[in-house]
Each structure stands twice: as C-alpha cells, then as structure tokens.
Amino acid sequence: MTSSLHAGPNDQAVDLEEIARSRFIRLSEVEPERVAWLWEGRIPLGKVTIVDGDPGLGKSTLVEGEMAAHVTTGTPWPDGTPCPAGSVVMLTAEDGLGDTIRPRLDAHGADTNRVLCFEAVEYGPDEERPPSLALDIGRIEAAVVREGALLVVIDVLMAFLGSRTDSYRDQDVRAALTPLVKMAERTGCAVICLRHLSKTGGANALYRGGGSIGIIGAARAGLLVARDPEDEDRRILAVTKNNLAAPVPALAFHLLPDEEHGCARVSWDGQTTHTAAQLLEHVDPEERSAGDEAVDFLLEILRDGPVPAKKVKASAREAGIAERTLDRAKKRAGVAAKREGFGSEGTWYWALSASESPKGAIDRRSQNPAPYGGLCEEPAPNGVDAFRLAFPGTEEVAL
C-alpha cells in the first residue's frame, strides 16, 4: 500500500489525503460584493444588528413601530436615505399584540398586512410553547421566504435563546446565534435583536449590553438608544459597531403621545454630535452597580430551573462578575441551594424561589434537563417552587 504521508516543512509528516479533503479558497476566485443596506450605515441586509438600551427609553417603539413602518411602506429613512419595501417578521416577548404592537404600528403608519408575528408553536391538543431560536430557525426562515420579509425583529433576544443557552457564556451564545446569522445570510433579510444594557459601568458600548460579549461579536452592526444628557425628554440613536461602512452621525428623536392610538410615536429631531461613549458616560451610577448586574445575571441564568453551582460561578467569571459580588447578590435574587448526592459525588444546584422567578420561567413547559436526569416536560402548577419541581420531596436551603 502506498503511503499518503510526505515530508513537509521542517521534515514534518503531511497527509496529502487529509489535505485533499480540506477546502481552501483562493481570493482571486472570489467575486467582490457590495454590502446591501436596509438603512445605509446603520442596518445591513443579510446581517444581524444589535440594538441596546435601558428599559423604558423607547427602543421597542423605535424598532417595532417606526422602523417597521418604513420597511412595510418603503418610506425613506429620516436621514433621507432610501428604504426598500418588504415585509417584517416579529418575535416579541414583552408586549401584547393587540394592546401594544398593533397600536404602535398604526401610530407610525405601517402596513400591518406586511407584519407577521411568530406567536407560538403548537405541539399537541391545546398545548403550545413560545418560539425559540434553538428550535425554530427553520420556521422563521420559511416565514421570511414566504412573506418576502426584509426585516426580522427579535424583542428581546434573551427571551428566545432557549432554556439550554447560558447567555453569559460565550460558547453557548455563539452556538445559538450562528444559525440566526446563517439564516440572515441565506435570505438576505436584516435581523434586529433588541437587548437591555447591563448594569456594569464603563463607556465602551461593546461591553455594555447584557450577556456575553459573543452577542455583539456575532453581529455586524450595533446601535444604542440612550437618553440625551442635555435633554431628559430626548433620545439619541447612536452607532456602537459597524464593520461594513464609514461612521454615520447619531440621530435625535422625541417620543410624542399619539392619543388616537393610545401609544407613543417617534418624532425625529435630526443629527447630533453625541457618540455612544459619551451617552454611556452619563448613565446614572445607581443604574450600573455591580450588585444589580449580578442580580440580573442570576435571574437570567436560573430562569428555567436549577443549574449546577459550579456552572453558575464559571459563567459569572466569564461575565466579569466577582465571586464576592455574586455571593451578595444571591439573597437579593432569591436564590436557594440544594445538594444532590453524597460525598465527592454530590453536586450543589442553585435555583430561584417561585416568588423571584421571572414570569413563566417555572410554570411553562421547559425543555431544560432536570438535575435528576429526566426532562421537566410538564408545566408546573403556579407557585410551585423550582426545587420542588426538580427535586420532588426535598426542601431547598436558603442562602
């Protein structure tokens, strides 16, 4: 038999058969392509854009109302750049369709016939679950293709990552977002993911969004919605990341009451010289304490049930949360601990008490593995503690 091993540089063995199975591309054979834009300089087509901002500043109104209206009607953007017309697919976890989303669209003059909301997946008689990026990328892509959608809105991102995804762990986040990135590339639609700011300090916008740095790393563009430090009633839309074009100026806007539709609408004020770094420097220090960030971290990572304590601590380190800060945050977050097993084989788990768990984290169907080996597939009755769901017949230990 003829050997496929040959001497390479420094007399190292090179397997030619292995090389033949590898795919390399000579760049001279690649046709250069121009970036296509939904909103030039701000929102690229075929890519993921992250929009960060504190709750209550109007980022959902901006994206799900104003931006969706421009896309569904093809109306030029406020800076005068053209906007291609198409449909919009929405995944929303925080707002009602009838009392919030529809009035918001109507107030901005959107064509609601071109807006499709992905509400749930039915898996049995009278049984359904909320959408998940981990499970439903194929369903989202099918809707994008069928509707001719140019924009997919995910509000908020953390709600749709799936119960097995640790949003503070870079490896988990990249695994969860890669299918979304590939879907955007295949369909050519723009994907906007909304995210809350973390409570940690610093003016570097790339590090201020909640969860792992891998979230903004997977995106090709980033935007920030923040309060104007010179006018508390005015909002600023600033670019935090753009790998695809020259920098564009920030834009200012106000949220005005729309009495006809019972909601707020966006009114643009033009360009401003504010930058994302300047805006973040003026965030109230009370809003960015390390303790608050640690509480938010615990509420997020434990939202679907018990997690091994070692995993929680490792994820906290990756998120830049000191162990001492994490320990102080446990009581505030309502964290309880339970040991399973004996001696060196035993494992400590952390979980939220029912009173502290985010709405739906315990009482909805979950695909999260139970620590005793099975799947918590049946919905738990309201008020049942997370530990009593995962550890039948045992009591938790409050820390």
User: pLDDT of 289-309, one tens digit each?
Assistant: 677 778 878 887 887 778 888
- Look at residue 380 and tell me whether its pLDDT is greater than 70: no
Which range has highest mean pLDDT (219-228, 322-331, 346-355)? 219-228
Name which of 237, 221, 219 is nearest 78 in CA terms: 237
pLDDT score for 371: 32
Mean pLDDT, range 25-48, rounded to an integer? 93
Per cent of the chain over pLDDT 90 is: 44
- Residue 218: enclosing H or E segment and its boundaries? helix 214-218
pLDDT score for 117: 97
pLDDT score for 28: 92
Its sign, for the CA torsion 207, 210, 215, 216, is: negative
Which DSSP letter does residue 120 get?
-
pLDDT score for 391: 45
Among 39-53, 149-163, 290-304, 359-373, name the one with the lowest average pLDDT: 359-373
- Look at residue 361 and tell me whether its pLDDT is greater than 60: no
Among 262-276, 302-316, 330-344, 353-367, name the one with the lowest average pLDDT: 353-367
Among 9-13, 231-235, 274-278, name the one with the lowest average pLDDT: 9-13
Name which of 32, 34, 45 is nearest 221 in CA terms: 45
State how far the alpha carbon of 107 is from the alpha carbons of 39, 111, 257, 266, in Å: 21, 11, 10, 9
Among 168-177, 195-204, 312-321, name the one with the lowest average pLDDT: 195-204
Q: How confident is the model at residue 399 (pLDDT cuts 50, 70, 90)?
A: very low
The Cα–Cα gap between 358 and 70 comes to 34
pLDDT score for 103: 96
Q: How confident is the model at residue 395 (pLDDT cuts 50, 70, 90)?
A: very low
Mean pLDDT, range 239-253, rounded to an integer? 92
Q: What's the pLDDT tens digit per position in 50-87? A: 999 988 899 999 999 999 999 999 999 999 999 999 99
pTM above the 0.75 mark? no
Q: How confident is the model at residue 10 (pLDDT cuts 50, 70, 90)?
A: low
Please state, as a whole number, how many other Cβ atoms lie within 10 Å of the Cβ of residue 116. 17
Among 9-23, 26-40, 114-128, 297-311, name the one with the lowest average pLDDT: 9-23
The Cα–Cα gap between 64 and 45 comes to 17
Q: What's the pLDDT tens digit per position in 111-145? A: 999 999 999 999 888 889 999 998 999 999 999 99
Q: How many residues does the chain have?
A: 399
Name which of 229, 328, 222, 347 is nearest 280 in CA terms: 229
Half-sphere exposure of 100 toward its Cβ, with a 13 Å CA cutoff?
12
Q: Which amino acid is present at 170? A: D
Half-sphere exposure of 87 toward its Cβ, with a 13 Å CA cutoff?
17
Residue, of 214 and 91, whose pLDDT is higher: 91
